[in-house]
Amino acid sequence: MRLFTCVLAVAVTTLVSGCATVPTDPEDRAEYEALNDPLEPTNRTVMDFNLALDDAVLRPVARGYRSGLPDEVQHGIHNVLNNLRSPLIFANDTLQGSPNRAGDTLIRFMINSTMGVFGIFDVVGDTGGPRYHGEDFGQTLAVWGVGEGPYLVLPFFGPSNPRDTVGLGVEFLADPADLALVNQSLEWAVWTRTGVGVGDERAELLDPIDDLKRNSLDFYAAVRSIYRQRRANEIANRDMKASDLYKKESH
Amino acid sequence: MLTFLYRMTAALILVAAFAHPVAVTAAEPPVAKELIATLATDAMQTFGVKTLSADERSTLFRDRLLRYSSTKLVSADILGRYWGRFTDGERAEFEGLLVDYVVAIWSGRLADVDPGTKVNVQDAEVVGDKVVVHSVVFAPDEPPAPVDWYVVTADTGANVVVDVQADGVSLIKTMREDFTALLRANGGHAAPLFDAMRKKMAQRAGS
C-alpha cells in the first residue's frame, strides 16, 4: 500500500510538472485551449522516447522487412492482417449502427478468407467490390458521443487521447480473432500476429514518417495536427468505395 | 496511418503552384471545377516529364508558383493570428521565404510523379466562403486517393486554390500548426521561425 502511494505520488508529480502553463492573454489562451494539449511538455518527452526506440529497433526492423521480402509477399501479409481485423471491424461497424459497412466487412471477410486464400488476396477489393475500411473501438466511443479528452502521446503506441486509449485497451482484451486463437491454445499465433503487425505497419510508414521529419519545422506539432485531422476523418467515415470512384464525371 | 502524405504530395504538387490569396468569396462551382481540371492537366503535363533535371523541376515549380499564386492569403492563413502581429517587413519576408521553402521542400518529390497519374474531378459545393471541388487521384500502383480542393475568387477576379485536403488532412492547417508551434515557443517573434525555415531549406539543399 505504501509502495502504491509512492508510485501514485510520483506519477501525479510528473504529470503536474509536465503540464503546459496556461496563458493569461485571451488570444494565447484561446489557442492553448484549441490545441487541447495541456500535457505537451510530458507528451514531447514521451515522443522523444518513442523516437529513440524507433531509431534503435523498429525502423531498422521495418527497413529489413521491406528490403528483405518481395513486394508480393508484403502485400499478402498486409492483406492477411487486414482480414484478421475483420471480426473486430464488423463488431465496431455494428456497434456504430452502420449495417451497410458491417455488411461490406462481412462479405469481404467471407470471400477473402476463402477465395482469397485466408485473406492473402483481396479478391473483393480487386474486383470492384467494397474496399477495406478500418474501424476501432475508439471510433465507436466517438460515435456514441464520448469526448476525446486531451491529446496524449503514449509510450510505444504514439499519438492518442483518453478515448482512443480506452478503445485500445478494450480491443486488446476483446479482439475476436485473438480470443479464438487463445481458445485453441494458440497464444503463439497471437504474439506472432502482433509482432508481424507492428513490423508491417512501421514498414508502411517508413517513407511518410521520414518525409514528415524532413519537411516539418516542429515534428511533434505536425504529427499532432495530422493525427487529429485523420481521426476526425475516420470517425466521420469519409472513406470511399471503389464503385464511388467511377460514378461521376471524369476529366 | 500516414499514407495520406503520398496522396498529399500529389495534391500539393498541383496546388502549390496555384495556391492564391487575396480572396474572400467562393468561386462559382462550375468555374472551380474547370480550374481544377485545367490545373491537373497542366501540372501532370509539366511534371510528368521524366527527363527534367532537379534544377529544371525547381525552376518550373517556382515559375508556376509565382505565376499562378499570390502568396499573401496563404501566408496569412498559415500564420493565423500571428500574421496580424508581424510588421509589414516581416510579412513580406515571410511571403518570400514561404515560396523558397515550398520549392525547396517539395520540388524533390516532383521526380516521383508518375506520368500515368490521373485526376478524376467530381462534384463541387459551396462551403462558407469557399467552393470545395472533390476529386480522386489515381496513381499507378497506389489506391485511389480522395482529394478536396478549396477554391475562392480573389478580389482581382481570379479563381484560385487556397487549400487542399487529402484523406481529411488539410495542408494549410497542418502547416499552420507546425509553424505556429515554433512561433509560440519563441514568444511570437518572427526571427526564430525564419531561421528555422532557412535551416530546413539548407538541410534539404545538402541532402
Are B39 and B154 contacting, i.e. CB atoms less than 8 angstroms apart? Answer: no
Cα separation, B10 vs B138, whole angstroms: 10
Q: Give the pLDDT mean for A88-117.
A: 96
pLDDT of residue A123 exceeding 50, the answer is yes
Report the chain B residue with the minimal C-alpha distance to residue A28.
B184
Report the percent of chain B where pLDDT is more than 90. 39
Q: Give the per-residue pLDDT at B110.
A: 80
Residue (of A107, A138, A139) closest to A124 by Cα position = A107
pLDDT higher than threshold 80 for residue A55: yes
CA A158 to chain centre: 9
Does the pLDDT of residue B14 top 60, yes or no? no
Of B40, B106, B168, the CB nearest to A233: B168
Place of cell 495520406: B4
Rounding to the nearest 10 degrees, give the CA dihedral for residues B59, B63, B64, B68. 160
Q: Is the pLDDT of residue A105 over 90?
A: yes
Mean pLDDT in chain A?
88
For the stretch B41-54, pLDDT in tens is: 888 888 888 888 88
If one counts every other C-beta atom within 10 angstroms of the C-beta of residue A145, the result is 6
Q: Where do runs of H (alpha helix) occur along A69-136? A: 71-84, 86-95, 99-114, 123-126
Q: Which residues of A touch B (CB under 8 A)?
A: 27-28, 31, 35, 131, 201, 204-205, 207-209, 211-212, 214-218, 220-222, 224-227, 229-230, 232-234, 236, 238-240, 242, 245-246, 248-251
CATH number of B4-196: 3.10.450.710
The confidence band for B156, taking pLDDT boundaries of 50, 70 and 90, is confident
Q: Does B2 touch chain A (CB under 8 A)?
A: yes
- End-to-end alpha-carbon separation of chain B, Å? 26
Q: Do A251 and B37 touch (CB under 8 A)?
A: yes
Tell me whether residues A217 and B122 touch, CB distance under 8 A.
no
The pLDDT value recorded for residue A239 is 60
Question: What is the average per-residue pLDDT within A128-157?
Answer: 95
Measured CA to CA, the distance from residue B207 to residue B204 in angstroms comes to 5
In total, chain B counts a number of residues equal to: 207
A70-94: pLDDT as tens digits:
999 999 999 999 999 999 999 999 9
Decide: helix, strand or coil at residue A130. Answer: coil
Would you say B117 and B140 are in contact if contact means Cβ atoms under 8 Å apart? yes
Q: Distance, in angstroms, between A13 CA and closest chain B CA?
A: 23
Among candidates A20, A43, A42, A41, which has minimal Cα distance to A32? A20
β pairing state of B118-127 and B130-138: antiparallel
Nearest to A89 by CA among A237, A190, A250: A237
Which run of H or of E encompasses A187?
helix A187-204
| CB proximity B167 to A under 8 Å | yes
What is the structure's pLDDT at B162?
84
Nearest-angstrom CA–CA distance, B54 and A117: 45
**Dist. CA B121–CA B40, nearest whole Å:** 9
pTM of the model: 0.85
Task: Record the cell numbers describing residue A120, joined without a space.
Answer: 492473402
DSSP string, B22-61: SEEEEPPHHHHHHHHHHHHHHHHHHHT-TT--HHHHHHHH
Closest partner CB to A251 (pick from B6, B120, B143) = B120
What is the rounded average pLDDT of the residues A193-221?
93
User: Over 80: is that where the pLDDT of A248 sits?
Assistant: no
Task: Give the pLDDT mean for B127-148.
Answer: 88
Residues composing chain A: 251
Looking at residue A11, what is its pLDDT? 52
Mean pLDDT for the stretch of residues A88-116: 96
Higher pLDDT, A40 or B32: A40
Spans of all domains in chain B? 4-196
Quote the longest CA-to-CA distance of chain B: 47
**Separation between Cα atoms, residue A114 and residue B40, nearest integer Å:** 41
Residues with Cβ within 8 Å of residue A123, at least 6 apart in sequence: A111, A112, A115, A116
Q: Which three cell numbers stand for residue A118?
A: 485466408
Predicted confidence at residue A50, as pLDDT, reads 97
> Which residues in B lie closer than 8 A to residue A226 (C-beta atoms)?
2, 4, 169, 174
Own/partner contacts of A159-165, CB < 8 Å, gap of 24 or more, are: A159/A223, A159/A224, A159/A227, A163/A138, A164/A136, A164/A138, A164/A231, A165/A138
pLDDT (average), residues A180-208: 93
**pLDDT tens for residues A4-49?**
444 444 455 555 556 778 888 888 888 889 999 999 999 999 999 9
